[in-house]
Amino acid sequence: MVLKWDGHTHTRHCYHGSDAAEELYIDRAIELGFERYTMSEHPPLPAGWIEDEALFKELGMPLEELPVYIAYAKEMKRKYAGRIEVTVGLEFDYLPGRTDFTDKLVEQWGEELEDAVCSVHFLPGIGGTRCVDFSAAYLKEHILPYYGTMEKVADEYYDHVEAAIAYAAKLPMRKRIGHINLIEKFASALPPIDEAQIRRRLERLIPLLAESGVGVDVNTAGLRVPTCGKPYVPEWFIAACRQQGIECVYGSDSHKPEQVGTGWEWFEAQMR
């Protein structure tokens, strides 16, 4: 039997999510029969990380809010003890050129954290660092012209995922790479990426994951995105990872209480 665990969720400390109380998320998880629930909020980002100040404020909590979030997560862990295992985590962004910023957060807070999701949300683009999953229009304006083709965008994205795996391998807590195919979020609204290229790049990740001890966030949020319509991890990739002993953890990536558990049945079927 697979542990019923939602390993990727957000909270009211997410500025592009919901301000709903955490109890609504966790009560929903209990109602659905989950046994473990990981709170994995976005931590702060380095000042000036992206040029758009309004977007910057949406993507990570202020630095002074991090201890408040950690205390909040630990409070939920205590409150629900005996009913569901709540684990304290963060969804770290891979920050090329600024991993020192993440290092400092881990140095200060690592002992408090049980789980880390390490994700690629940012690529170099026109005008500096840009967000790959904000909107299709944003990607078309700020990222696609910088590379010229979606194939080149995808190669840059997977290069960053490879680097993120190497970085995550050094983290002291349980860790997994976040929504590994996030680059497909706006697939139907952008020029297509060759499926053979995606498969080739994903196949390169399997030995890296196996050697590093980094798991996979089997993220089903793409099912909720009209321009994607599928989980961010292909079925064949899950099977290949399991053959190599790579931990595969379901993640709803919920930003609202009603999103907890989205796609669990699909994940459970893969694990059979």
Q: For the chain, what are the domain ranges? A: 5-271
The low-confidence residues of the chain, meaning pLDDT below 50, are none
Which residues lie below 8 Å from residue 117, measured CB to CB, with a gap of 6+? Answer: 7, 8, 40, 89, 90, 91, 92, 175, 176, 177, 178, 217, 251
The two structure tokens encoding residue 244: 């190599």
Cα angle 14-43-138, degrees, rounded to a multiple of 5: 65
Helix-helix angle 195-212:150-168, to 10 degrees: 10
Distance of CA 212 to the CA centre of its chain: 18
Other beta carbons within 10 Å of 182: 21
Which residues lie below 8 Å from residue 54, measured CB to CB, with a gap of 6+? Answer: none
Is the overall model pTM greater than 0.75, yes or no? yes
Q: Sheet harboring 174-177: ordered strands across?
A: 5-6, 36-41, 85-93, 115-119, 174-177, 215-219, 248-251
The two structure tokens encoding residue 122: 């940012």
CATH topology of domain 5-271: TIM Barrel (3.20.20)
- Please tell me the predicted confidence (pLDDT) of residue 202: 98
- Please tell me the predicted confidence (pLDDT) of residue 53: 87
Other beta carbons within 10 Å of 100: 9
- Please tell me the predicted confidence (pLDDT) of residue 129: 96
- Please tell me the predicted confidence (pLDDT) of residue 175: 98
Distance of alpha carbon 122 from alpha carbon 129, whole angstroms: 6
